[in-house]
Amino acid sequence: MFYTLGTLLGLVTGIVHAVHIIATQSSLPGPNASGQAFYRAAWAIVLWTLFGGYLFSMWVIGLLFRAVFADRGNSADLAKP
């Protein structure tokens, strides 16, 4: 169930990411920028859909583990004075 849910979530995320890519990368310098942006957007949808289930499963596992073992937190929090 995690995997199916994750794949659907991945597909939705992929579409959102694809729209973001087209919006931001169509105006990059260089030849055929909008064609490149659409090509990258298509890849984004494929990759997010393929890995969505895996990422979602890991997200849930991370949430659980972090709640139990988060004495070594992540990213910037730790180095704050």
Among 6, 17, 52, 53, binds another protein (CB under 8 A): 17
Site string for another protein, 30-69 (x = CB under 8 A): xxxx--x--xx-xxx--x-------x--xxxxxx-xx--x
Q: At what angle do helices 2-25 and 33-69 cross, to 10 degrees?
A: 140
Structure token pair of residue 66: 């972090």
Question: Nearest distance from residue 1's CB to another protein, in Å?
Answer: 19
3-state SS string for 16-49: HHHHHHHHHHCCCCCCCHHHHHHHHHHHHHHHHH
Q: What is the binding site for another protein (CB under 8 A)?
A: 17, 20, 25, 28-33, 36, 39-40, 42-44, 47, 55, 58-63, 65-66, 69-70, 72-76, 78-80
